[in-house]
Amino acid sequence: MPKPVDVTLPSDREIRVVREFDAPRQLVWDCHVKPELVQRWALGPPSSDMSMKVCRIDLRVGGRYRYVWRNDKSGFEFGSAGEHLEIEAPRRLVTTEIMDGLDGKPLLDEPSIDPAQAAINTLILDERDGRTILTMTMVFPSTEIRDGALKSGMTDGMGDSYDRIDEIVVEQATA
């Protein structure tokens, strides 16, 4: 049974998403930093027909990541990229994030990250009795950019994607 995500707006530029997993923190961490796992769960709603054709993660402070999604029916592609600002494995990960391709411009292999346009994402994983509480706080450069992210259905897609982490957890438990 899917678990709900709790979405709040702590300020006029923030979105906070909280979700609980029946899994140890290390496994939820691995799902966020190992490309072979990220490509399996970070896909949005099941009806979106999305696949992640690029997933690069250089997990070090100053290292970059790059994701590119493709709608397998229409061929539409968009991406996100960012830099790791803080890493406290397996509890905390702070990154910048920019989205590209949503404006119809071609995707770049390594897009530049304009700090004035980048969100700052803070992932916190707290473990209690073998369960992990994920808190993702996204701080956007402006209210308008935050509101655009909300209108895109991003938080619904996050909920669907997090449900896939539950599937990976079950796999790992039976492996």
What is the 8-class DSSP label of residue 175? -
- Tokens at residue 36, please? 């072979």
Domain count, the chain: 1
**Is 45 contained in some domain?**
yes
DSSP bridge pairs for 67: 55, 80
The pairing of strands 64-71 and 77-88 is antiparallel
**Is 156 contained in some domain?**
yes
| pLDDT (tens digit per residue) in 29-79 | 999 999 999 999 999 888 788 999 999 999 999 999 999 999 999 998 999
Report the CATH number at residue 144: 3.30.530.20
| Residue 167 confidence (pLDDT) | 93
**Is 166 contained in some domain?**
yes
**Is 133 contained in some domain?**
yes
**Is 39 contained in some domain?**
yes
Reported as a pLDDT band with limits 50, 70 and 90, residue 4 is confident
**Is 1 contained in some domain?**
no
- Domain interval for residue 112: 6-174
Reported as a pLDDT band with limits 50, 70 and 90, residue 2 is low
**Residues 171, 163, 46, 143, CA torsion sign:** negative
| Residue 168 confidence (pLDDT) | 94
- Tokens at residue 102, please? 């949503």
- The pTM assigned to this predicted structure is 0.93
**Is 103 contained in some domain?**
yes
**Is 136 contained in some domain?**
yes
**Number of CB atoms found within 10 A of residue 68's CB:** 19
**Residues 60, 20, 138, 76, CA torsion sign:** positive
Distance CA 70, CA 87 (A): 28
How much of the chain exceeds pLDDT 90, in percent?
A: 74
